[in-house]
Amino acid sequence: MFISLLAISSLVGQTTAVVDNTPYKIVIQLTSADTAVQHGLIKQIHNALTAAPKSKIEVVCHSNGLFFLVTAKSDKADEIRKLKAQGVVFAACENSMRSHKVKREELLPEAITVPAGVIEIVKKQRKHWAYLKAG
């Protein structure tokens, strides 16, 4: 009986992670240059991929969120590169690029561009992607 109690007590407090194999589709809007918001975004993406590794994720960066993808301004380049290797898409808004005078060559190589960030989000929502706002 003592051994049984010992075995049971060693299991108390342990949690078993359950992996959800549903292929969720998530589009995340980033409009902030705040590094705390960007850090939270990276953490949320990691959490989503850990819980549901078959998920598709696209991060649409526009307004001041564009700087998340600008090589000279981003402090998350390594994380972005690793997430891109896991299939996460990082999209820079061309309207925001024009507004902020950012050229394609100034973006991280992992970034794609889309003509209009807000329209990219709407297109994804029309295709039944879940919408999240970073921050």
Torsion of CA 71, 76, 80, 82, to 10 degrees: 120
Tell me what pLDDT residue 18 has.
Answer: 84
State how far the Cα of 120 lies from the Cα of 111, in Å rounded to an integer.
Answer: 14
State how far the Cα of 95 lies from the Cα of 36, in Å rounded to an integer.
Answer: 24
Q: Is the pLDDT of residue 97 over 60?
A: yes
pLDDT, one tens digit per residue, over 16-73 is 568 999 999 999 999 999 999 999 999 999 999 999 999 999 999 999 999 999 999 9
Q: Could you tell me if residue 118 is left (phi over 0), alpha (psi between -120 and 50 degrees) or otherwise beta?
A: alpha
Tell me what pLDDT residue 16 has.
Answer: 57
Instruction: Identify the architecture of domain 20-133 in CATH.
Output: 3-Layer(aba) Sandwich (3.40)
Question: How do the domains of the chain map onto residue ranges?
Answer: 20-133
- Which one is predicted more confidently, 14 or 54? 54
Q: Is the pLDDT of residue 4 over 60?
A: no
- Which one is predicted more confidently, 1 or 48? 48
